[in-house]
Structure 1
């Protein structure tokens, strides 16, 4: 699918970050498909920015494994790398467990309500087969304890590796296997509200481990397709 034709998407005050997020989200949601060549001129026209923030965004996306750049030649949207996704899952699961443990003593009633509301949106999106809505709501749910933990290092690492997993989660949330996350989210909130940091951390670990069977299946399919 080509770069969208809409122009001037990015606010001038947030050029670097918004350019990165716009291209990242287009890759994660499949607007920019694996193997698609990314031309600077097309991205500049779409986002309404200069070449510099586009190149900076592509450099960050390469670090995250979402694009591949050949110097002086071209930049391509990376195919899903199952091995990289498995590595990202193990790191991401451990960090979410950590931030929830740190966040529990700090979570306010308003933040707990925000988690409940995000999970309600998540459940509704799954019922309606709204995969982008489910991904966004899941992001919002887990983002509450990440922010409450005030762990800047964990937040930075999660921002780098989570997009790789979101490509995988689009597959999970489009099938019945994603429905179990609603109840798991409920348990996380319940343990957080009770002040049970270890229980909340364990429930979070269980939630993120649900990606493992899907990654194993993708790995087996990839191996079967290899001559």
Structure 2
């Protein structure tokens, strides 16, 4: 389904509002949505809401149904598939970063690691850790991989596990990021790839284990 150029501008507020509610968990997986209901809640007409829902459908955050739209409730098998695809792509991006990262890229990555280490707030640490991944992908100079990873992570976002934010896990993330950066700085592409593979594999296993405990 094509999205018109005007839609990308005209529906900015409804799009961001609905997307934020999905990613923030207010509209949890399994929630049903209608353009009329959302328009009433947001105080806008149905047209920009329909445009917003069309964009969100393209991103995989909602699915069209006979009655309207649904925030998809993904099975453990679907989440595992998405995680495995992310592992492969992130490993390739990190391998590329080891080959192409500039001194400016390396300085930014180091700065993000230091900011994360000093951050006191859990939300800030998680945000900075995500920015580290984005900066690493940018250093790999492969926009196609970056776009594919953005799409995969959007699909995972509504199913994010709160266990990621446990203090011991945050410390382990920082340690793993340090090892990844050292490999990239050393221009050791194979080691960088292996370190990222191990990092994202552990994240996948943590997510799946949490889903299993919840009966997901």
Smaller-chain TM-score bracket: 0.7 to 0.9
Q: Does 1:68 pair with 2:63?
A: yes
Q: 2:105 aligns with which of 95, 108, 111?
A: 111
Which of 78, 90, 93 is the aligned partner of 2:72? 78
1:221 lines up with 2:213 in the alignment = yes
The runs of 5 or more residues in structure 1 that have no matched partner are: 1-11
Instruction: For residue 89 of structure 1, report the CA deviation from its aligned partner.
Output: 0.8
Q: For residues 159 and 16 of structure 1, what CA distance do their matches in structure 2 show?
A: 21
CA 1:191 to 1:68, structure 2 compared with 1: closer, same or farther past 3 Å? same
Matches of 2:207 and 2:184 in 1, distance apart? Answer: 28
Q: What does 1:44-59 align with in structure 2 at a 5 Å threshold?
A: 46=42, 50-59=48-57
Q: 2: distance between equivalents of 1:43 and 1:97?
A: 39
Cα separation, 2, equivalents of 1:50 and 1:60: 16
**Deviation at residue 201 of structure 1 after TM alignment:** 1.3
CA contact (8 A) 1:135 1:170 kept: no
Q: 1:129 aligns with which of 105, 122, 132?
A: 122
Residue 140 of structure 1 corresponds to 131
1:19 is displaced (CA, Å) by: 6.2
Contact 2:14 2:49 in 1 (8 A): no
In the TM superposition, what whole-angstrom CA distance separates every residue of 1:150-176 from its partner, at most 9, and x where no partner exists? 323322321221123344544232223
* Partner deviation per Cα, 1:70-97 (whole Å, 9 max, x = no partner): 13x1222233532211111110011011
1:185 is aligned to 2:177: yes
Partner Cα separation in structure 2 for residue 47 and residue 97 of structure 1: 44
In the aligned structure 2, how far is the partner of 1:221 from the partner of 1:210?
17
CA drift at 1:136: 2.5
User: Is the Cα contact below 8 Å between 1:134 and 1:173 reproduced in 2?
Assistant: no
- Pick from 22, 31, 40 the counterpart of residue 35 of structure 2: 40
Report the Cα distance in structure 1 between the residues aligned to 2:164 and 2:74, rounded to whole angstroms.
17
Contact 1:173-1:179 within 8 A present in 2 as well: no
Structure 1 residue 124 displacement after superposition: 4.6
- Using structure 2 for the length normalisation, give the TM-score: 0.78
**Further displaced range: 45-54 or 81-90:** 45-54
Match of 1:7?
none
Structure 2: distance between partners of 1:110 and 1:138: 18
Q: Does 1:159 align with 2:155?
A: no
- Where does the alignment leave 5 or more consecutive residues of structure 2 unmatched? 1-6
Quote the residue 1:205 is aligned against.
197
Tell me if structure 2 keeps the 8 A contact 1:28–1:166. Answer: yes
2:91 is aligned, of 89, 97, 110, to: 97
Equivalent residue for 1:27?
Answer: 22
Alpha-carbon distance in structure 1 between the residues aligned to 2:130 and 2:151: 14
For the residues of structure 2 that align with 1:174 and 1:185, how far apart are their CA atoms?
15
